[in-house]
Amino acid sequence: MAKYAILIYEDPNFYATMSPEAWSAVIDAHDAFTKRVFELGASIEGGAALASITTATTIKNGGTVTDGPFVETKEAFGGFYVVEARDLDHAVEIGKLCPAPGGGVEVRPVVDPTTNPF
């Protein structure tokens, strides 16, 4: 088994005017997703939702600190899961189930720090 990050990217405006009922449906979808991961024989090693991009602080090479996200995009990094899956195909199968109604997800292997992945 290997670890994969499922990175959630969505349009932050998608959530800005969301009703409490719609927000509850998103939370329910994530709860269902986590149950499905285990049913597929994988496990969740960690994860979190991130606060709004308006709360971001960026530190660039050389130590320059600025408010806001690093780049301007339509979609922003909004949260992640770390799953343990059999292989990349298994992780992609799981990633396809991850709720991201305002965008999509990226699946990426987590690096083993004892080996050089490059």
Q: Is 82 inside a domain boundary?
A: yes
pLDDT for 69 = 58
Cβ contact 79:47 at 8 Å? yes
Domain assignment present for 33: yes
Q: 105 and 95 in contact (C-beta within 8 Å)?
A: yes
Flag whether 70 is in a domain: yes
54 within some domain: yes
Q: Give the model confidence (pLDDT) of 10-58 as tens digits.
A: 988 888 888 999 999 999 999 999 999 999 999 999 999 998 888 888 7
Number of H helices, E strands in the chain: 3, 6
CATH of the domain at 8: 3.30.70.1060
10 lies in which domain range? 2-109
- 117 within some domain: no
Both tokens of 92, joined, read 């992609």
- The answer as to whether 58 is a domain residue is yes
Q: Which pLDDT value is given to residue 52?
A: 84
- Residue 85: how many other CB atoms lie within 10 Å: 24
Structural domain total, the chain: 1
Long-range contacts of 11-16 (CB under 8 A, 24+ apart): 11/74, 11/75, 11/76, 11/102, 11/103, 12/52, 12/53, 12/76, 12/78, 12/102, 13/102, 14/101, 14/102, 14/103, 15/102
- What pLDDT, in 10s, does the model give residues 51-102? 888 888 877 777 777 766 555 667 888 999 999 999 999 999 999 999 999 8
pLDDT at 59: 79
Q: Are 36 and 97 in contact (CB under 8 A)?
A: yes
In the prediction, which pLDDT does 70 show? 59
Q: Cβ(93)–Cβ(83) under 8 Å?
A: no
- What's the pLDDT score for residue 72? 60
